[in-house]
Amino acid sequence: MKLFVTGAATTKFGELWNASPRGLARHAVFEALKDAETLPSSVEALFVGNMLSGMLGGQEHLGAFFAEELGLTVPAFKVEGACASGGLALHNAVNSLLSGQYTTVAVLGIEKMTDHKPEDVATALMGAGSEEERSAGATFPGLYAILARVHMREFGTTEEDLAAVAVKNHLHASLNPNAQFHNTLTVEQVMKSSRIADPLKLLDCSPISDGAAAVILSIHKTQRGVELSASAVATDTLGLAQRKDLTQLAATRDASQKAYAIAGVTEADIDVAEVHDCFTIAEVLAMEDLGFFPKGKAAAAIAQGKTTVGNGKHVVVNPSGGLKGCGHPVGATGVKQIVELVDQLRGIAGKRQVSGARVGLAHNVGGSGATAVIHILKK
């Protein structure tokens, strides 16, 4: 059975002080329905990806909460998997269609983070870490700093190499009207920014953000529909201490291999990818774990401006600006990645359009790599 993304939309990402979660959800879902040229009555189920509503907002019953707001009385589900919540919501929606339970469903990814104190947000985000890491006072910048240190020791990766990731993704974000940041960066600016968790600096880190994104997924092909060819998930240990190798995120490697097999493609067929660059080292790891570059080669290639070349294939990574430039409302990110790929494969991405894009990959990660979700779309 083939599945199609028939509608896709996203709000602007950023510090949206005057926007409520209800308003963000309405905008994203109704714009996606409009894009799909379908009515709300066509939606048979709603899947909501969100991480922090219970810890920060005191509301866990998001399926019914947003179904009510959207005027729907259909089955509705909240799906949580840390920063991979949006990707997991889509994965569950895919499985519901493949099972024959529904024919058309809506997927909403949403997060409202900036209304809360940064220290409360940091504590809530560490709900995705292990008990040992929390009790030691670790935060995710600290955990990814460990990964960066190991990569530097093993492969000679430099801080300037990591800074080049931020420079590239801010350049892409400057072309995206929905991105949180439109300012370009230089390597020097990244290097001079405040150190958060050595070697990661402020401009190596994705921001706290608000936003929502939605897609309409259906078994019915439409003229503008984009085929969703594969959806795969893999997991690893919550904590870094339990892993055999800190130079890779094994869940990314495993999920991508599953997705390539399901879609009948290899990494060499991917034209455009949205990868989970919550920190600059995360994109470096993703580029290698997805097979775009041999282990230890991605950082230097990015720094040399060869970010569109991997395994001899022209692949553009994070044209939306990624999490770093576009913003990272954690429950929305995995769905926003799909919206960006749909725009790219339709050829309507404007100034950031990837020429000739026919196959796209989305890579969404939860925690420090405990969950990885891969989706592959085809024109």
Q: Where are the domains of the chain?
A: 3-117+208-218
What pLDDT tens digit does each residue of the chain (379 aa) get? 999 999 999 999 999 999 999 999 999 999 999 999 999 999 999 999 999 999 999 999 999 999 999 999 999 999 999 999 999 999 999 999 999 999 999 999 999 999 999 999 999 999 999 999 999 999 999 999 999 999 999 999 999 999 999 999 999 999 999 999 999 999 999 999 999 999 999 999 999 999 999 999 999 999 899 999 999 999 999 999 999 999 999 999 999 999 999 999 999 999 999 999 999 999 999 999 999 999 999 999 888 876 543 445 578 999 999 999 999 999 999 999 999 999 999 999 999 999 999 999 999 999 999 999 999 999 9
Q: What torsion do the CA atoms of 329, 52, 98, 219 make, to the nearest 10 degrees? A: -40
Rounded to an integer, what is the distance from CA 263 to the centroid of its chain? 20
The CATH number of the structural domain formed by 3-117+208-218 is 3.40.47.10
**Closest among 212, 298, 206 to 252, alpha carbons compared:** 298
Rounded to an integer, what is the distance from CA 25 to the centroid of its chain? 18
- Give the model's pLDDT for residue 306: 62
**Closest among 216, 133, 183, 179 to 329, alpha carbons compared:** 179
- Under the phi-then-psi rule, with left for phi > 0, alpha for psi from -120 to 50, and beta for the rest, what region is 350? left
**Closest among 27, 17, 24, 67 to 47, alpha carbons compared:** 67
- Give the model's pLDDT for residue 315: 87
- Give the model's pLDDT for residue 72: 96
Amino acid symbol at 193 = S
> What is the rounded distance in angstroms from the CA atom of residue 138 to the CA atom of residue 123?
10
Scanning 187-316, the segments in alpha helix (DSSP H) are 187-192, 250-263, 280-289, 298-303
CB 162 within 8 A of CB 259: no
**Closest among 257, 219, 289, 252 to 366, alpha carbons compared:** 252
Which residues belong to the active site? 83, 328
Please tell me the pTM assigned to this model.
0.97
Phi/psi of residue 368, each to 5°? -95, 30
